[in-house]
Amino acid sequence: MHKERINTRLENWDYSSEGFYFLTLTCKNKEHFFGKIENKTMNLSDIGSIAFQFWMEIPNHFSHVRLDELVIMPDHIHGILIVGPCNVVRPRHGVASQGMTKKIRILNQFSKPVKNSVSVIINQYKSSVKRWCNKNGFKDFEWQVRFAKIGVSAVKINFTIFLSFIFSML
- Put simply, whether the predicted model's pTM sits higher than 0.85 gets the answer no
Residue 5 lies in a domain: no
Mean pLDDT of the chain: 76
pLDDT category at 160 given cuts 50, 70, 90 is: low
CATH number, domain of 149, equals: 3.30.70.1290
- Number of domains the chain is built from: 1
| Paired sense of beta strands 41-44 and 19-26, if any | unpaired
Residue 132 domain boundaries: 19-168
What pLDDT digit, counting tens, does each position of 56-100 carry? 999 999 999 999 889 999 999 999 888 887 655 444 444 444 444
Residue 83 lies in a domain: yes
pLDDT category at 23 given cuts 50, 70, 90 is: confident
Count of residues in the chain = 170
